[in-house]
Amino acid sequence: MLPKGGIHIKKILWVFLFLPFFIGACNYFSDYILSVDNITIEATKCSYSVTVTGERQKKPDILITIGQPPANSKDGMIMKSEVGEFFIDRDGTVTIYFTLVSGRRLLSTPLATVVRVFNSPITAPIIKKAAIRDGNIFLSLQGQSEGIKEYKVKIGSYNYFSKSGVFAIPLVSKLDVPIECFSIREDGAISEPAIANIDLSKNKKPSIDLILPEYYDGNKIPLELHDDWTAPEKLIVRAFADDIPLLFDGKALFPLFEIPGGEHLIEIEVIDEAGLSTKSSFQITIKKALLNEIAELYIEEGGTFRIASWKLPSSVQNAVLQVMGAGEWTDIMEIGFEGSARIPSEYISDMGDIYRLSPRKNDSMFLPSVPVFAKLEQSRRVTSSYIVSLYGKDVTLPSGGVYNFQGNIAVKSGSLLRIESSTSINLSRKSTLLVNGVLEIDGRRGKVTVSSFGSPAIIHIGRKGTFIARNVDFQNVELVADEGAVIVLENCEMNADVMLDVSSAQIYSSNITGSFKINNLNELYIFNSHISGSFESGFVKEGIVSNTQFDSKESSLSNSNIKFYNSEFSTGDIDISGSSHVYFYNSSLKVKRGIVNNASELYIEGTEIFCDEKLFIGNFSRIVMPEKVQDEVQIEKDNTSEVFLYNSGD
C-alpha cells in the first residue's frame, strides 16, 4: 500500500524478508512474534497496522518509540491495539521502533522501520527558463523544497513529467491555456502551480549558424537552423554554392556533387511554417592541394619511457601524434611545428608500439609521417650466416652481413625481427617468411637487399602483424598481408606481386612492378611512387594517392573511396563499380575504355582526361567533370545515370 500523507516510508529490507525468523529467534522473553504490516501518514498523523502472534490468548502491549530503541517500558507510547495511530512532530528521516511489552517487562527485540517525514508544506518550483524554440516549449524548473522526486507541467488536459526539471514539449497550433508547473515530493505531495510566462504572440524569423571547418574540402557543410514555432525538419531550406544545389539533412548541407576548388558564394534561404524567411550568404575558399613534404618522427627508447621528437612540413603548424592499437590509429596528443614530448605511459607496451604523425581532424593538407616502431632493445644479435629458426625470440641481424634463410621461418606474435642496414637477405625458393609479430627492415644508412632465386619466395604478414621496410630492394619476393596488419614501404623496389588485405598501408617513394591488389583497407596512402603492374582495389574505406604514376594494362576499383592528387593514371581498361567514389585532382587520366557502374562516381577536377574508345556510365552512377573537357570524352550512359558539368572558371 502506497503512502498517502506527508511521510515517505523506507522499510528496512531485512525486516520484511526475514522478519518471522528474526523475531522468533531473538524473542527470548516470550513466545510472541511481532510484524509490521503497514504504515501511512496524513500530515503529522501516523497510522500503523501490526500483527502479534502467539500461543496465549491474552496478547502483550505494543511500545512505540521514535528515534531510538526503548531502554524500558516507559520510554514511548503504549498501544493496546494492533491497529492505531499516533503523531510525529519531527521533520526528516525518522526511525520508528515497535516492541512487545508486558507491564515493565520488554518481551521482544525492537523492530525498526525507517520513514521520511515532511511536516513543512511543499512550495512551487522556480522557473529558470521558459522559451519557444524549434517547435517546442523549453522549460527548466528548480525545486524549492526538500525531497523533490520529479516535476510536472500541465497544459490543458495534458501532463508532462521530468525528473531533471528540463522539458521540451511539442507546441500545439493553439495554446490558449496556462502553462502550470509543479513540484512533486517523494511522499507524493504536489505543490501549488507556478505559471510560465511565455509571449505567444511573437513569431521570429529562423536563425542560421554556419561554421566551416578550418580546412574545407568541398563536401558537407555543418549547419544549425533554429526557429521558434517550427521544428528543424519542417523548415524549408534552399541553398546553393554558385549553381550547385546544397541538400540539408537536418545537421549539414551536402552539395549535389563535390564543390570544386576556388572561391564560391554560399547562398542560403530558410523559410518557416508561417512563411517567415531568413537569407544569408557566405564567401568560401576551397583548396585541394596536398603538400609534397612528409612530416618526420623519431622515437627515443629510454627503458621505462619514450620520447617523441618531430618536425612538420614548413607550412604546417599543428598535427597529432598517434599510436596503432587494435587495427586503428588513436590520437595521443596534439603537437606543434617542431619539438619533443614524453609519450604517456598508457601508450607504451612491453610488446612494442607503432607511432606516427597525422593531420588533425578536418585538416588534410599533408600525409601522415612514416610510422616508427619502438620497443625496448632486448633482442639477440645473430652473427651466423644461416638462419633456420628464430626460436620465438626478438632477433637483430647486424648491418653489413649476408644472411641465408633456410626453409620457412616464422616471426611469432609478440616478437621482433629487426634487419639493419647494408645487409643481404637470401630467402629459399618457394619459401615463406611468416610474420605474426613485427618485421622491421631499416636500410636508411645503406640499402638492404631481400632476394630469392628461382620461384618467388613470399613474405607473409599474418593477422595483426607489422611490416616496416625502409630503403629495401625486394627481388623476386612477393608480399602478402592479412587482415589487421600494418604495412609500411618507403624507398622500396618490388618486382613481384603485392597483395594487401590490411588495416593500414603507407607506400612512399616506392616502385611496384608486379600486380598490386589491395582489399579491406581502413586506410591507404601512396606518395611519390610508381605502380606499373595491374591494379585492383576492393573495399578501401579511405585512400589518398599523391604524386604517383600508375601504368597498367587494366585497373579495377570496387567499393573503394580513393582520391588522386597530382598523379598520372594510365591504364587500358578501368572498371569503377560497387558504390566506389574515385576523385582526380590536378592529375592526368588516360584510359582505353572505362566503366563507371553500380552506384559509383568518377569526379574530375583540374585533370586531363583521355579515353580512346568510350566511357560507359550505368546503374545509378555518375561522372562529374568540367564543361571544357566534355568534348574530349565519348560518354554513353543509361537512363538511371547522370553526367554533371560545372564551370571550372578557367
pLDDT tens string 504-522: 999 999 999 999 999 999 9
**Per-state percent for the chain, helix, strand, coil, to nearest 5:** 5, 55, 45
Q: What's the pLDDT score for residue 211?
A: 80
Burial of 554 (0-12, 13-18, 19+ CB in 10 A): middle
**How would residue 43 be classed by pLDDT, with cut points 50, 70 and 90?**
low
Does residue 619 surpass a pLDDT of 50?
yes
Say if residue 469 is in the same domain as residue 348: no
Q: Is 456 helix (H, G, I), strand (E, B) or coil?
A: coil
DSSP per-residue letters across 586-613: S-EEEEEEEEE-SS-EEEEES-EEEESS
Q: What is the mean pLDDT of residues 376-392?
A: 84
pLDDT over 70 (residue 4): no
Q: How many CB atoms lie within 10 A of CB 202?
A: 9
- Is the predicted pLDDT of residue 5 greater than 50, yes or no? no
Q: What is the pLDDT of residues 545-577, one digit of tens each?
A: 999 999 998 999 999 999 999 999 999 999 999
Overall residue count recorded for the chain in this entry: 650
- Among candidate residues 65, 98, 117, the one where a domain is terminated: 117
Task: Tell whether the model's pLDDT for residue 215 goes beyond 60.
Answer: yes
In this structure, the answer to whether residues 424 and 455 fall within a common structural domain is yes
Task: Tell me, yes or no, whether 1 lies in a domain.
Answer: no
- On whether both 266 and 336 belong to a single domain, the answer is no
**Of the candidates 374, 399, 425, which is a domain's last residue?**
374
- 342 and 395 assigned to the same domain: no
Identity of residue 382: V
Residue where a domain terminates, one of 340, 374, 408: 374
Pairing of strands 236-241, 221-226: unpaired
What percent of the chain is predicted at pLDDT more than 70? 93
Over 50: is that where the pLDDT of 18 sits? no
pLDDT surpasses 60 at 92: yes
What residues contact 67, with CB distance under 8 A and at least 6 apart? 90, 94, 95
Q: Is the pLDDT of residue 175 over 90?
A: no
Does residue 608 share a domain with residue 533? yes
Predicted pLDDT at 430: 93
Instruction: Please tell me what DSSP assigns to residue 90.
Output: -
**pLDDT attached to residue 26:** 40
Q: 476 CB contacts (<8 Å, ≥6 apart)? A: 451, 452, 453, 454, 456, 457, 495, 496
Residue 11, domain member (yes or no): no
- Residue with more model confidence, 425 or 250: 425
Task: Report how far residue 147's alpha carbon sits from residue 164's, in angstroms, rounded to the nearest whole number.
Answer: 13
Q: Report the C-alpha gap between 528 and 515 in whole angstroms.
A: 18
Which is higher by pLDDT, 537 or 197?
A: 537
Mean pLDDT (whole number) for 41-59:
80
289-309 confidence digits (pLDDT tens)? 888 999 999 999 877 789 999
- Summarize the confidence of residues 465-486 as an average pLDDT: 94
Looking at the fold, whether 149 and 52 belong to one and the same domain comes out as no
Q: Do both 266 and 300 map to the same domain?
A: no
Mean pLDDT of 320-344: 92
Q: Is position 271 within any domain?
A: yes
C-alpha separations of 401 from 44, 92, 279, 429, 450 in Å: 95, 85, 73, 20, 12
What CATH number is attached to the domain comprising 164? 2.60.40
Q: Is residue 102, in this structure, part of any structural domain at all?
A: yes
Environment class of 493 (CB within 10 Å of its CB; exposed 0-12, middle 13-18, buried 19+):
middle
- Which pLDDT belongs to residue 17? 31
Q: Answer whether residue 399 shows pLDDT above 70.
A: yes
DSSP code string of 366-391: SPPPPPEEE----PEEP--SEES--T
Summarize pLDDT for 251-283 with one digit per residue, the tens.
899 999 999 999 999 999 999 999 999 999 989
* Count: domains in the chain: 5
**Within this chain, do residues 406 and 488 fall inside the same structural domain, yes or no?**
yes
pTM assigned to the model: 0.77
Residue 386 pairs in a beta bridge with 404
- The verdict on residue 291 lying in a domain is no
Q: Does residue 23 lie within any of the structural domains?
A: no
Mean pLDDT throughout 416-434? Answer: 95
57 — pLDDT class (breaks 50, 70, 90)? low
Q: Kindly list the distances between the CA atom of residue 320 and the CA atoms of 27, 208, 367, in Å, as whole numbers in the listed order.
A: 72, 32, 12
Domain assignment present for 5: no
Strand partners, 279: 269
- Asked whether the beta carbons of 502 and 462 are under 8 A apart, the reply is no
Distance of alpha carbon 357 from alpha carbon 300, whole angstroms = 15
Residue range 390-400: average pLDDT? 89
Q: Which three cell numbers stand for residue 69?
A: 530503541
Per-residue pLDDT, averaged over 640-645, amounts to 94
Note whether residue 83 is domain-resident.
Answer: yes
Same domain, 363 and 415: no
Structural domain of 155: 126-196
With 50 as the cut, is the pLDDT of residue 634 above it?
yes
Instruction: Give the whole-number percent of the chain exceeding pLDDT 90.
Output: 63
d(CA 348, CA 302): 11
Residues 154 and 38 grouped into a single domain:
no
Which residue in this structure is represented by grid cell 602483424?
Answer: 465
How many Å apart are CA 153 and CA 182, to the nearest integer? 6
What mean pLDDT comes out for the span 33-44? 82
Domain CATH code at residue 234? 2.60.40.10
**What's the distance, Cα to Cα, between the start and end of the chain in Å?**
82
User: Can you tell me the distance from the alpha carbon of 481 to that of 459, in angstroms, rounded to the nearest whole number?
Assistant: 8
Judge if 225 and 326 occupy the same domain.
no
Instruction: Answer whether residue 12 shows pLDDT above 60.
Output: no
Q: 327 and 217 in one domain?
A: no
pLDDT bucket at 90, cuts 50 / 70 / 90: confident
Residues 171-190: what's their mean pLDDT?
84
pLDDT band at 9 (very low <50, low <70, confident <90, very high): very low
Neighbours of 321 (CB within 10 A): 20
Q: Are 562 and 543 in contact (CB under 8 A)?
A: yes
The pLDDT value recorded for residue 8 is 40
Q: What is the mean pLDDT of residues 30-54?
A: 83
Task: Round the average pLDDT of the chain to a whole number and report it.
Answer: 89
Residues 6+ apart with CB under 8 A from 367: 290, 291, 294, 506, 508, 525, 527, 544, 546
Contact 417, 435 (CB under 8 A): yes
